[in-house]
Amino acid sequence: QSVLTQPPSASGTPGQRVTISCSGSSSNIGSNYVYWYQQLPGTAPKLLIYSNNQRPSGVPDRFSGSKSGTSASLAISGLRSEDEADYYCAAWDDSLSGQVFGGGTKLTVL
Amino acid sequence: QVQLVQSGSELKKPGASVKVSCKASGYTFTSYAMNWVRQAPGQGLEWMGWINTNTGNPTYAQGFTGRFVFSLDTSVSTAYLQISSLKAEDTAVYYCARSPVGATGWFDPWGQGTLVTVSS
């Protein structure tokens, strides 16, 4: 059971906007930055969003992150078939003194 | 470019040991921390801990003490993960991942992953 809670699946059609939620607590999301990673099938995770809402260079602006209280969200607009992947949220947890991940959300592009 | 290249897949018998390497290039190795993350088959990501590349001091997450050892060879910009007394449940892909400030920051980049299979 993961410390951060994500829906196991999400889906959308090409061009649509999809959001993935990530719920935590005061010891992780509530007091630290949230990160998002994209894991394409058979590959290593890749940093998608850092510090709640910052995109590394090379990440399209179709991807955006937000945080409010003890929850965070990843939004993907203009959905494309190549966005089909697993998405993970993560944050530092002060109580556990470690990085914690969500269980992952499998995004299907219909 | 910044990259982490890990050693190849391993097939081990229960009770054996394995050592996974992670060679860094494209940046100053000792300026960033190195983390290890486990992904069991069909499962999510699990942070195992990190090693301070300046001091060599490792920190292990809960559940990864005793049989797991992080080490470094800074002369070749390489981090290592050693697992002893292997069990079937250690079967997983192990990733190394760089972070900017200890282990509290983001992980970027990640190594390509090393599959460790434990089977008799």
- Flag whether pLDDT at B101 surpasses 90: no
**B104 to A92: CB separation less than 8 angstroms, yes or no:** yes
Query: In this predicted structure, what is the pLDDT of residue B21?
Result: 98
Interacting residues of A37 by C-beta distance below 8 A, sequence separation 6+: A45, A46, A47, A48, A87, A88, A90, B45, B107
Mean pLDDT of A59-84: 98
Beta strands in chain B (DSSP E): 3-6, 10-12, 18-25, 33-39, 46-51, 58-60, 68-73, 78-83, 92-99, 114-118
In angstroms, the Cα distances linking B17 to A104, B5, B47 are 30, 21, 20
CA nearest to B100 within chain A: A50
Query: In this predicted structure, what is the pLDDT of residue A13?
Result: 97
Q: Which of B20, B45, B60, B70 to mutate to test the interface with A (most CBs of A within 10 A)?
A: B45
Taking any CB pair shorter than 8 Å as contact, residues of chain B touching chain A are: 35, 37, 44-47, 49, 59, 61-62, 95, 97, 103-113
Specify the amino acid at residue B23: K
Average pLDDT, chain B: 97
Q: Is A92 on the interface with B (CB under 8 A)?
A: yes
The alpha-carbon gap from B51 to the nearest alpha carbon of chain A, in Å, equals 13
pLDDT digits (tens, 9 = 90+) for A18-69: 999 999 999 999 999 999 999 999 999 999 999 999 999 999 999 999 999 9
pLDDT digits (tens, 9 = 90+) for B43-86: 999 999 999 999 999 999 999 999 999 999 999 999 999 999 99
The alpha-carbon gap from B14 to the nearest alpha carbon of chain A, in Å, equals 26
DSSP state of B44: -
**B45 to A45: CB separation less than 8 angstroms, yes or no:** yes
Q: Is A69 on the interface with B (CB under 8 A)?
A: no
**A98 to B47: CB separation less than 8 angstroms, yes or no:** yes
Mean pLDDT of B19-30: 98
The alpha-carbon gap from A78 to the nearest alpha carbon of chain B, in Å, equals 25
